[in-house]
Amino acid sequence: MKICKNTKHSGFTLIEMILYLAISSIFLTGVVYFTWDIVYGRVKSFTFQEVNYNVRFASKRITYEIKNAESINSITGNSISLQMADGSRNPTEIQLTGGRVRIG
């Protein structure tokens, strides 16, 4: 009986498999968190841009209405009443109610 001592085993041991899975898991977790940060940053940037646009639009509209008014009827803490040259737009009121600006 001859026993061959030069046999080569190919494959992974259990410890090698566990190490490869652990390293892969750490890498994939990092990639997922990095991707999540990019997506969250994009949404946050878009929201800031939209809020900035709305504030700029409201400010310009209020400025336009005040410049084109003949006179101011009344001013309170949350509203301005304007006398306009166009009779169909009298009185034009600018109100702040519940965080919303209403012009009518």
Indicate the number of domains in the chain: 2
Closest CA to 95 of 75, 74, 79, 73: 79
DSSP classification of residue 8 = -
Q: Which residue has the higher pLDDT, 44 or 89?
A: 44
DSSP classification of residue 98 = T
Domain that holds residue 27: 13-67
Determine the Cα–Cα distance for residues 75 and 45; give it in Å rounded to an integer: 36
Same domain? 74 vs 49 = no
Same domain? 62 vs 73 = no
Same domain? 34 vs 76 = no
Amino acid at 32: V
Same domain? 17 vs 61 = yes
**Per-residue pLDDT tens for 38-74?**
999 999 999 999 999 999 998 898 888 888 888 888 8
Mean pLDDT, range 85-89, rounded to an integer? 75
Same domain? 22 vs 58 = yes
Same domain? 77 vs 62 = no
**How confident is the model at residue 14, as a pLDDT?**
86
Residues 6+ apart with CB under 8 A from 65: 82, 92, 94, 103
Say if 54 falls within a structural domain: yes
**Per-residue pLDDT tens for 11-35?**
778 888 899 999 999 999 999 999 9
Host H or E run for residue 42: helix 14-67
Same domain? 61 vs 75 = no
Give the predicted TM-score (pTM) of the model. Answer: 0.58
Determine the Cα–Cα distance for residues 83 and 87; give it in Å rounded to an integer: 9
Length of the chain: 104
